[in-house]
Amino acid sequence: MCVPGAQTRCTCTNGVDGAQICVDDGSRFDACICKDPPPTTGGVGGHDSAVGGRSGSPTLGDGGAPEEGGAPAMHGDATDLPQEPILEDGVPANAPELFGAATDDAAGALCVLEPQLSADGADGAMFPSNWLRPRFRFVADDFDLFELRLHSDAERNDLVVYTKEPSWYLPQFIWQGGGTNAGLGAAAAGGIVSVTIRALDSSAPGSAARVDGTFRIAPAAASGSILFPAMQAWATSPESAILGFSVGDEGVQPALKLKQAAWTGQLTEDGAELRGYYDEPGLPWYVNGDVRAFFRPTVTPDGAALSFTDDWPWAMAMAQVSGNVIGGVPALLGKGGRALMKQPWLGSQTFSAAHWASGDRVLVTSYGRTFKSDNARDKPWTSLNYGDTAEDTDWVKWHSLVWFDLEADFEVDTDATGYGVTLDEKNAAVTNAFGTSWGFISTGDSSSSHVAPTFNPQGDTVAYVATDYSPEWHPDAAATTADVRTVAYNNRAGGVSQPVAGASSPDYLEFEPAFSPDGKLLAFTRAANGGPDGPFRHRFGEVMVVAASGGEPVRLVANDPNACAGDEEPLALLNGSAAWAPQAVTQRGKTYYFLVFTSARHYADEFAQSFEMSGNAYSNTLQDSTQIYLSTIVVDNATGAISTYPAIHVWNQNRAADEGAAASIQFSNITPVWGNTVLPKLEIPPR
């Protein structure tokens, strides 16, 4: 046992000192990371040797860039990369000779899609050391034979692969190790992996296309699990589910199915009947009062449960996602706490580990408080003033920040229905609990709607979005303003909010804020004001980060897809919905953060491809399906400088276990949450 992130000294086989880093769960120290291995001049596995190489091939220098006729590459002592070349099925036995004789003169004919490699002085992607093993994917329509070469200064050998497929997965035994091998992910942590990919037509092998570049491996491991709603249409469906995977899993599994959610008693907006009572013609599979949608899930700080926004009228619900009763209502909820969550016109929710203990279990959300008519909401359950058309209906216009005591146990029967006394009793019970079991968080700002709150881990600050229209719990696609502001929590009382410098410019819509796990950074989505969309699923949205105290925002390099991937110009990618890994790791004077986000950039692999969502996307005209991508963010602790790295497609998200085999699944994967939920061990064949 050890303290996560702690280091201890170890001795490398070349006699220099190395370091071992305690893994995130504190169970052990990782493999020894050796510093400055001495260079070798040839020998087994080197580019200048006959074994696994080709006569006259370029060498890969210390910086990772190919160097024709340069100095021999450095080689370490790790033996994760095999000495002999790998020839995949169908590859001709003379493949090494074909590439050895080929001239690299087919410029521009080879596009490397994954991973994004360094180019034109810009860094390539950076993988967590324990992430999914890298997938190499490329497009080369005129070629049928490919050569991959990988070099790491930590490894004794260079990897050479010959394949006929334009998609190749680094084997598990190489990436994760086994026996006495730590795996490339651990051995090369903190270093660069140099890559050369060449392609030729085996029927005319004289000319080859070539791409050189590098990717990096962070000296840090990711932890926890990622959960996300998977959808094929905007309409509610009995097949709706939240899928999830633990870091390193090669597929996904249901973390919560709609039919597992034991939460009942969801009410109509006026509280008189169970939700579904007035539906015409109704849903044949739906039991009135049950949950029927998963929007914006949020994991509790202990990872044991999810809260989420349900379908109209936007009440909330909660369900266990860890333990023996998946979908069960968490025992920590009091009867009053459940009633508070069943009120209509609530928003996305947030928690802080600082307020997640017995006697102080607080949920912060937004509460529909003002209607389009500027009338104030005067009771928990109240009917909208419906007009002849949707435009005439007195929808909610503005929200306020609100806190709920989830352990509140005041007496109220939300399952009782019918007009009259029961409705009055529900309204009276919740109203009387105001100030003791729930209340508004003051911001000092009465000129906007306050939605999309996010609690910092220290529990003393709430960031939120100030916007001008939010009928459906988030900044609406028709809204024209959106800025990120922060307010002191102040023991539930709030205070006077302040705009976050760098995330509150009048020239931009800024929305979807999320605090980093140490509370030092804020991620948010930004798009230029005056564009075709409002601050919701904005086609030109980009993920940004800024110091939580404000400053110059940094645009993630990961917003840009691979230049040769075929995305249309201008790039309408719907980038957004950032979610941080639950731990930041500090190593060698730098802090490493991992972050996932969603994007509708071009994708099509053996598992799934882009498609158009059906149904109404809340008045937004862009219906493209989205996928989840990973990015690494590194902060220099001495200077505060922020470096970001290209996106990594999460290739397991469309792969599920099916009766001992693996099945491809086709969903639009949205609004991920990254927490500490312990999922069952996933039994799925490796790809």
Same domain, yes or no: 291 and 377: yes
Q: Answer positive or negative: Cα dihedral of 611, 615, 617, 619.
A: positive
Q: What are phi and psi of 246, to 5 degrees?
A: -85, 155
Within 221-273, strands assigned E span 225-231, 241-246, 253-257
The HSE-up count of residue 354 (CA atoms within 13 Å, CB side) is 16
Residue-level pLDDT at 417? 66
Greater model confidence, 437 or 75:
437
Q: Are 87 and 96 in contact (CB under 8 A)?
A: no
CB 581 within 8 A of CB 575: no
The first and second tokens of residue 494, run together, are 């709030």
Quick check: is 582 in a domain?
A: no
Residue 161 lies in a domain: yes
Strand, helix or coil for residue 99? helix
- Partners of 525 in the beta sheet? 511, 543
Cα atoms in the Cβ-side hemisphere of radius 13 Å centred on 306: 37
Mean pLDDT of 286-301: 96
How far is 521 from 550, CA to CA, in rounded Å?
9
Distance CA 662, CA 497 (A): 50
pTM to 2 decimal places: 0.89
CA distance 31 to 189: 10
pLDDT at residue 318 greater than cutoff 80 = yes
CB 123 within 8 A of CB 179: no
Q: For residue 579, which of 661, 504, 496, 674 has the smallest C-alpha distance? A: 674
Same domain for 435 and 313, yes or no, is yes
The tens digit of pLDDT for each residue in 367-420 reads 999 999 999 999 999 989 988 888 889 999 999 999 999 999 998 877 766 666
Distances (CA, A) of 372 to 71, 130, 271, 474, 661: 71, 50, 21, 15, 53
Cis omega (within 30 of 0) for bond into 313: yes
**292 and 393 share one domain:** yes
Beta bridge partners of 630: 596, 648
User: Total domain count for the chain?
Assistant: 3
pLDDT band at 225, cuts 50/70/90?
very high
Q: Taking 60 as the threshold, does the pLDDT of residue 457 lie above it? A: yes
Give backbone dihedrals phi and psi of 338, rounded to 5 degrees, phi first. Answer: -65, -40
What is the mean pLDDT of the segment spanning 556-574?
90
* pLDDT tens per residue, range 16-41: 556 777 776 667 777 777 644 333 32
Beta-bridge partners for 482: 467
Q: Over 70: is that where the pLDDT of 331 sits?
A: yes
**Mean pLDDT, rounded, for 264-282:** 91
The two three-digit tokens of residue 222, written as one number: 């990711």
Residue 466 lies in a domain: no
Q: Per the domain annotation, does 242 fall within a domain?
A: no
For residues 46 and 132, membership in a common domain is answered with yes
Cβ–Cβ contacts within 10 Å for residue 447, how many? 7
Mean pLDDT computed over 628-640 = 98
pLDDT at residue 120 above 50? yes
Same domain, yes or no: 347 and 408: yes
Distance of CA 145 to the CA centre of its chain: 34
The residues near 14 (Cβ < 8 Å, ≥ 6 apart) are 34, 37, 38, 77
Note the pLDDT of residue 11: 63
Nearest residue to 70 via CA among 171, 241, 194: 194
Tell me what pLDDT residue 59 has: 26
Domain for residue 309, yes or no? yes
State whether 179 and 272 are in the same domain.
no
Per-residue model confidence (pLDDT) at position 18: 67
Separation CA 629–CA 228 (nearest Å): 12
Spell out a b/e string for 254-269, using b for 16 or more CB atoms within 10 Å of the CB, else e: bbbbbebbbbbbbbbb
CATH number at residue 199: 2.60.40.3760
Neighbours of 331 (CB within 10 A): 9
580, 593 contact by CB (below 8 A): yes
Q: What proportions of the chain, in percent to the nearest 5, are helix, strand and coil?
A: 5, 35, 60
pLDDT at 547 over 70: yes
* 48 pLDDT more than 60: no
Among 34-43, 84-93, 432-441, 457-466, name the one with the lowest average pLDDT.
Answer: 34-43
Q: In the predicted model, what is the mean pLDDT of residues 423-450?
A: 96
Question: For the ranges 24-38, 43-57, 169-183, 214-228, which has the lowest average pLDDT?
Answer: 43-57
Query: What is the structure's pLDDT at 418?
Result: 65
Q: Give the C-alpha separation, 304 to 330, whole Å.
A: 9
Q: Read out DSSP for 496-546? A: --EE-TTS--TTEEEEEEEE-TTSSEEEEEEEETTSSS-SSS-TT-EEEEE
Of 148, 207, 185, residue with least CA distance to 30: 185
**Partners of residue 597 on adjacent β-strands:** 629
Where among 440, 474, 490 does a domain terminate? 440
Predicted local distance difference test score (pLDDT) of residue 620: 58
Pairwise CA distance, residues 302 & 284, whole Å: 36
At 133-159, the pLDDT tens digits run 999 999 988 899 999 999 999 999 999
Which segment of 26-35, 112-121, 264-273 scores lowest on mean pLDDT? 26-35
Confidence at residue 566, expressed as pLDDT on a 0 to 100 scale: 86
Residue entry with tokens 């989205």: 626
Overall average pLDDT of the 335-347 stretch? 97
The whole domain housing 10 covers 1-36
Our CA angle for 263, 269, 274, nearest 5°, is 45
Q: Evaluate if residue 360 carries a pLDDT over 50.
A: yes
Same domain, 95 and 26: no
The one-letter code for the residue type at 100 is G
Q: Are residues 25 and 62 in the same domain?
A: no
User: For 559-586, what is the mean pLDDT?
Assistant: 92
Return the pLDDT at 70: 40
Q: Phi and psi at residue 557, in whole multiples of 5°?
A: -60, -30
Q: Is the pLDDT of residue 62 over 80?
A: no
Residues 138 and 163 in one domain: yes
User: Smallest Cα–Cα separation from 565: which of 627, 613, 614, 522?
Assistant: 627
What SS3 class is residue 586? strand
Question: How far is residue 457 CA from its own chain's centroid?
Answer: 18
What pLDDT was estimated at residue 638?
97
Main-chain dihedrals φ then ψ at residue 193, nearest 5 degrees: -110, 120
Mean pLDDT value across residues 596-605: 93
Q: Is 416 helix (H, G, I), strand (E, B) or coil?
A: coil
Residues 583-611 have a mean pLDDT of 95
Check residue 46 and give its pLDDT: 27
Q: Report the pLDDT averaged over residues 163-189.
A: 95
**Higher pLDDT, residue 484 or 47:** 484
Domain co-membership, 61 together with 166: yes
Indicate if the pLDDT at residue 317 is higher than 50: yes
Residue 566 lies in a domain: no
pLDDT of residue 568: 82
Residue where a domain terminates, one of 217, 250, 285: 217
Residue 612 has which token pair?
A: 């158009």
* pLDDT value at residue 33: 74
Q: What is the pLDDT of residue 324?
A: 86
Residues 68 and 20 in one domain: no
Q: Mean pLDDT, to the nearest integer, of 99-106?
A: 90
pLDDT at residue 39, rounded to an integer: 34
Q: Tell me: do 108 and 9 sit in the same domain.
A: no
Token output for 90: 């169908």
Q: What is the pLDDT of residues 635-653, one digit of tens each?
A: 999 999 999 999 999 999 9
What single-letter amino acid sits at 571?
L
The mean pLDDT of 429-435, rounded to a whole number, is 97
Q: 602 falls in which pLDDT band (50, 70, 90)?
A: confident
Query: Nearest 5°: CA angle at 290, between 665 and 668?
Result: 20
**Which pLDDT score, from 0 to 100, does residue 53 have?**
28
Lowest mean pLDDT among 105-109, 342-346, 543-547: 105-109
Beta bridge partners of 662: 657
Confidence band of 344 (pLDDT split at 50, 70, 90): very high
Q: Is residue 476 in some structural domain?
A: no
Average pLDDT over the chain, rounded to an integer:
89
Indicate if the pLDDT at residue 252 is higher than 80.
Answer: yes
Query: Would you state the pLDDT for residue 52?
Result: 27
**Of the residues 182, 217, 252, which one is the last residue of a structural domain?**
217
Within-domain flag for 158: yes
The whole-angstrom separation of Cα 435 and Cα 149 is 65
Q: What is the pLDDT of residues 481-519, one digit of tens each?
A: 999 999 999 999 999 999 999 999 999 999 999 999 999
Best mean pLDDT range from 267-276, 473-482, 631-640: 631-640
Tokens of 554: 């940094």
